[in-house]
């Protein structure tokens, strides 16, 4: 399938942290013909290996999970109370459309509700929204109707986000953090299936990044990479009102190369190698402004005896919202850069 269909399929799939099963099965179906070995570990990471058994092991990582919510309480009047899973900006929650998935796999649409401003006093209107004051309305009138829908405490919830093609060769949808990274790994696996690497390549589609880099930690312990790359969707804040010094990356300027963030200080040898590879291959790129964000690289580089680990990211505006915007050109160039760095990865060890 083409880029748009691939990204649409991954974006629209339900995959809250800890509930990545649907995403994993879709990716498994896509990559199984490309793999020498494919397995799902105890936490739910999907590990796809090409050319196993070599001394040099390159690990590529992209996380499958997205942020969302979990049902925490059911009111007698049929409203759902919820708790965030992952990092949310409370200002985005009012009138947010959502999808609840019950334990039988049925999905139920709803919306986040709050007290209408028409009946609030002036002080209430000025006060910021608080999660504890919000609720989800799925159209039920009683707790009994909620029970009939099969909704129970602990059921997962994700935002509803329509996938749209925009002008300027841009796409909009939910969960590009990090389904766009997953799509990059799929394209890289496709390329290496045609021309197999002379090293071991382990592509990990990991779980539970949004709640603490959990899946990548155990996956890296199993893979024991020599070199690793986390492929992410990162913050593009090139929007009105943001000072230049606070813009981590800009959309349309190519993949963002991380030097440092809150989870890792990328070894200068690897950071220089990634940047020089982009220059040599003529790939547009940018340096991500430190020290914003954290990625699976933070867990991977500390696993076992440690591994040289870097981060290559696709700039995404309005990240951690249901309306993320991403440039198709940035996506293409991220595939190119990850593929070129992967092909040359054994040379990293030769650098001083």
In the chain, which residues have pLDDT < 70? Answer: 115-121, 123-127, 351-352
Cα Dmax for the chain: 68
What positions carry a catalytic annotation? 209
Determine which helix (DSSP H) or strand (DSSP E) holds 342, and give its type and residue range. Answer: helix 328-343
So what's the pLDDT on residue 207?
Answer: 98
SS3 123: helix
So what's the pLDDT on residue 119?
Answer: 61
d(CA 68, CA 148): 23
Nearest partner of 298 among 285, 287, 282, 309, judged by Cα: 309
d(CA 171, CA 8): 9
So what's the pLDDT on residue 59?
Answer: 98
CB 263 within 8 A of CB 294: yes
- The crossing angle, in degrees rounded to 10, of helices 21-31 and 176-194 is 20
SS3 259: coil
């Amino acid at each position: 399938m083409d880029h748009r269909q691939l990204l649409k399929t991954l974006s629209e799939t339900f995959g809250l942290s800890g509930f990545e099963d649907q995403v994993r099965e879709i990716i498994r179906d896509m990559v199984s013909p490309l793999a020498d070995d494919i397995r799902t570990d105890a936490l739910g990471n999907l590990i796809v290996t090409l050319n196993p058994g070599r001394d040099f092991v390159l690990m590529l990582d992209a996380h499958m999970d997205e942020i969302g919510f979990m049902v925490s309480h059911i009111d007698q009047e049929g409203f759902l109370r919820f708790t965030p899973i992952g990092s949310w900006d409370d200002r985005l929650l009012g009138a947010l459309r959502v999808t609840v998935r019950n334990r039988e796999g049925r999905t139920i649409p709803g919306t986040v509700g709050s007290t209408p401003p028409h009946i609030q006093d002036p002080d209430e209107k000025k006060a910021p929204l608080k999660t504890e004051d919000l609720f989800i309305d799925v159209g039920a009138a009683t707790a009994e109707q909620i029970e009939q829908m099969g909704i129970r405490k602990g059921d997962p919830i994700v935002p509803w986000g329509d996938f749209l093609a925009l002008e300027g060769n841009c796409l909009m949808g939910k969960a590009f953090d990090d389904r766009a990274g997953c799509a990059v790994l799929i394209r890289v696996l496709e390329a290496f299936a045609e021309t197999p690497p002379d090293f071991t390549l382990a592509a990990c589609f990991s779980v539970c990044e949004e709640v603490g880099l959990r899946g990548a930690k155990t996956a890296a312990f199993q893979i024991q990479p020599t070199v690793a790359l986390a492929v992410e969707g990162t913050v593009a804040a090139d929007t009105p009102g943001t000072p230049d010094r606070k813009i981590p990356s800009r959309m349309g300027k190519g993949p963002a190369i991380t030097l440092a963030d809150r989870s890792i200080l990328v070894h200068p040898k690897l950071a220089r190698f990634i940047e020089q590879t982009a220059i040599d291959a003529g790939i547009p790129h940018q340096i991500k402004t430190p020290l914003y964000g954290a990625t699976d690289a933070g867990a991977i580089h500390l696993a076992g005896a440690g591994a040289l680990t870097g981060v290559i990211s696709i700039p995404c505006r309005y990240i951690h919202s249901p309306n993320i915007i991403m440039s198709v050109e940035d996506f293409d160039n991220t595939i190119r850069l990850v593929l070129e760095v992967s092909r040359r990865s054994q040379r990293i060890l030769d650098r001083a």
